[in-house]
């Protein structure tokens, strides 16, 4: 079932990639520039949920040990990595729950997720966790938007491990263990002026859209320590007009 879902999504994303390339080559530059400016202005007025995707960097090993018991062999080492998202969305519940988000490329996280997605054994289990942040966690959003955060440890953010050994951030509104089933690369995407950076390092020339199947909704543990406003931990963290915000009720007329 997972293989058929993956094949269908790959066919759709291949067609979408082809259409994107055609639209970029045919759109007049002046009109395209006007659309970008108008779109950027509109998106600043909309509220976007903020999430952090966590995974492991593949192909990392420790140095060979000198003792005889290790026999000079290298031991695999899991290095955790995370990146802040401002483009997370749910796209389907049936026949399989699917979510989507984008990352600027090149980036360590995009390379890691692509490497995991190409591993057939990894496709049968989750290889990423999408941590949907609460309104009490703007500091975590800023932390994982830093290009120098590589790797991260429990001294910087409180987290537990899922059954697949991936970081689940404590105190998050929710966390989804996922596997990538489709990817789309859009060329020459202009970066929005936003504090939530989706690239680690210099500006990239593309943005990669990941479509992921949700395999499990994790039980998120409460963080340790005291908080000034516990109510914020039950509200979503949003990005609106280049700052962090949350929801509020509309008064009845």
119: pLDDT strictly greater than 90: no
Residue 201 pLDDT level (bands cut at 50, 70, 90): very low
Residue in the block written with tokens 């009845």:
252
Average pLDDT (123-148) is 89
User: DSSP string covering 45-98, please?
Assistant: TS-EE-EEEEEEESS-BPPPP-STTTTT---B--EEEEEEES--EEEE-SSS-E
Q: What pLDDT is attached to residue 14?
A: 58
Residue 88 pLDDT level (bands cut at 50, 70, 90): very high
User: DSSP string covering 183-230, please?
Assistant: EEEEESPPPPS-SS---SSS--SEEEEEEEEEEEE--PPPPSS--S-G
* pLDDT (tens digit per residue) in 5-14: 555 555 555 5
Q: What pLDDT is attached to residue 176?
A: 98
Q: What sign does the CA torsion over 54, 59, 64, 69 have?
A: positive
Backbone angles phi, psi at 131, to 5 degrees: -95, 110
Q: What pLDDT is attached to residue 40?
A: 80
Alpha helices by DSSP H, 108-151: 108-117, 138-144
Please answer whether residues 100 and 196 qualify as being in contact, where contact means their C-beta atoms are separated by less than 8 angstroms: no
| Choice between 141 and 29, residue whose per-residue pLDDT is larger | 141
CA 102, CA 86: separation in Å to the nearest integer?
A: 8
| Choice between 94 and 60, residue whose per-residue pLDDT is larger | 94
Q: Which domains does the chain have, with CATH numbers?
A: 2-26+46-60+74-222+229-245 (2.30.110.10)
* pLDDT (tens digit per residue) in 32-60: 888 888 888 888 888 889 999 999 987 65
Backbone angles phi, psi at 78, to 5 degrees: -85, 125
Q: Is 93 exposed, middle or buried (0-12, 13-18, 19+ CB in 10 A)?
A: exposed
Q: Which of 4-18, 114-128, 234-248 has the lowest mean pLDDT?
A: 4-18
Q: What pLDDT is attached to residue 69?
A: 42
| Choice between 70 and 170, residue whose per-residue pLDDT is larger | 170
237: pLDDT strictly greater than 90: yes
Please answer whether residues 172 and 122 qualify as being in contact, where contact means their C-beta atoms are separated by less than 8 angstroms: no
Q: Which residues contact 40 (CB under 8 A, 6 or more apart)?
A: 190, 192, 193
Q: What pLDDT is attached to residue 94?
A: 93
Q: What pLDDT is attached to residue 70?
A: 43
Residue 103: both structure tokens together: 């990352």
Instruction: Give, as one character, the DSSP assignment of residue 181.
Output: E
Neighbours of 98 (CB within 10 A): 20
CA 173, CA 160: separation in Å to the nearest integer?
A: 14
């Amino acid at each position: 079932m997972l293989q058929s879902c993956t094949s269908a999504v790959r066919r759709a994303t291949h067609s979408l990639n082809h259409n994107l390339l055609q639209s970029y080559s045919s759109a007049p530059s002046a009109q395209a520039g006007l659309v970008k400016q108008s779109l950027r202005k509109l998106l600043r007025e909309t509220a976007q949920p903020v999430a952090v995707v966590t995974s492991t960097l593949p192909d990392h090993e420790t140095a060979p040990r000198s003792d005889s018991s290790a026999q000079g062999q290298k031991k695999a080492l899991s290095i955790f990595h995370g990146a802040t998202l401002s483009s997370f969305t749910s796209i389907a519940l049936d026949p399989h729950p699917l979510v989507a988000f984008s990352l600027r490329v090149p980036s360590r996280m995009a390379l890691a997720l692509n490497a995991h997605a190409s591993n057939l054994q990894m496709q049968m289990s989750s290889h990423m966790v999408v941590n949907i942040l609460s309104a009490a966690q703007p500091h975590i959003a800023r932390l994982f938007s830093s290009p120098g955060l590589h790797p991260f440890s429990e001294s910087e953010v409180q987290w537990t491990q899922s059954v697949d050994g991936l970081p689940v951030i404590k105190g998050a509104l929710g966390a989804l263990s996922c596997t990538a089933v489709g990817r789309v690369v859009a060329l020459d995407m202009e970066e929005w002026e936003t504090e939530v950076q989706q690239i680690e390092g210099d500006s990239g020339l593309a943005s990669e859209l990941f479509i992921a199947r949700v395999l499990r909704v994790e039980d998120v543990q409460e963080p340790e320590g005291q908080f000034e406003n516990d109510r914020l931990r039950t509200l979503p963290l949003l990005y609106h007009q280049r700052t962090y915000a949350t929801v509020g009720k509309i008064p009845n007329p």
